[in-house]
Amino acid sequence: MARGLIPFDKRFLGEATCLVGIDEAGRGCLAGPVVAAAVCCDRAFYKSSRCASLCRGVDDSKRLSAEKRAAIVERFRGECHENWIQVGIGLASVEEIEEHNIFQANVLAMRRACARLKGVLQGGDVFLPAETPPILIDGRPIKTFPFPHRGVVKGDRQSFAIALAGIHAKEWRDAHMRELAGECPEYGFEQHKGYGTKTHLEAIRRHGETVHHRSLFLRKFRTQPASAERVRQDSLFEPSSHKVFQS
């Protein structure tokens, strides 16, 4: 799949020195943070003779097994030239999701991920870059995002940088949820990663909420039975069903 993703990125790279792809994981979960990853791909990476071999297997994270995602992350950590690929991870906590709503918390996680890209997007929390590289974000354009960018709906199936960001975001978040499973073993976080599966909902019914649960999300299950089923279905997977490619 990655072979088709590289030409897409090159269309937007133009004469820029690098390109940034951004994606998130955990937006539709009932527990745990939302995690974003920003991947900066240097121009030299796209021109390298090793590009095709390094990119093999990269795809929408939801299409990949846990083993394949982990192998891809390890490959880029161990084999890729340090100046070719940068990865920044940012998250927004359950408390921030409750305070700001999931959409704004997602934007916050993306901003934090971008802030961890050294020398790419300058300005810290102020975000005043002298020269912003092309930025591709999975989904629709975000009015409150502080950098010029292009929203690419179903971007994790179109852009290499977005797909790699999605893989890193999911791997980081899955590892975090496995850690939370050690604190709360009765909830099975290591299995469902906080999504609204029947097993997870039954554990909540039996044991109540933890500090890792999103109370506002769960409230819909208690007060709006009809919409709760829709929320449960949406939360089974990272939301992408509404997305149609826009060039």
Q: Name the one residue in this structure whose structure tokens are 């121009």.
A: 43
Whether 177 and 190 have beta carbons less than 8 Å apart is answered as: yes
Per the CB < 8 A criterion, the answer to whether 173 and 26 are in contact is: yes
CB of 35 closer than 8 Å to CB of 25: yes
Domains of the chain: 2-177 (3.30.420.10)
> Which residues touch 80 (CB under 8 Å, ≥6 apart)?
45, 54
The residues facing 18 across adjacent strands are: 42
**CB within 8 Å of 160: residues ≥ 6 apart:** 2, 5, 6, 8, 9, 21, 41, 55, 58
pLDDT by residue for the chain (247 residues), tens only, comes to 566 899 999 999 999 999 999 999 999 999 999 999 999 999 999 999 999 999 999 999 999 999 999 999 999 988 777 789 999 999 999 999 999 999 999 999 999 999 999 877 654 443 444 568 999 999 999 999 988 999 999 999 999 999 999 999 999 999 999 999 999 999 999 999 999 999 999 999 999 999 999 999 888 766 655 444 444 444 433 333 333 344 4
How many residues appear in the chain? 247
Provide the whole-model pTM: 0.86
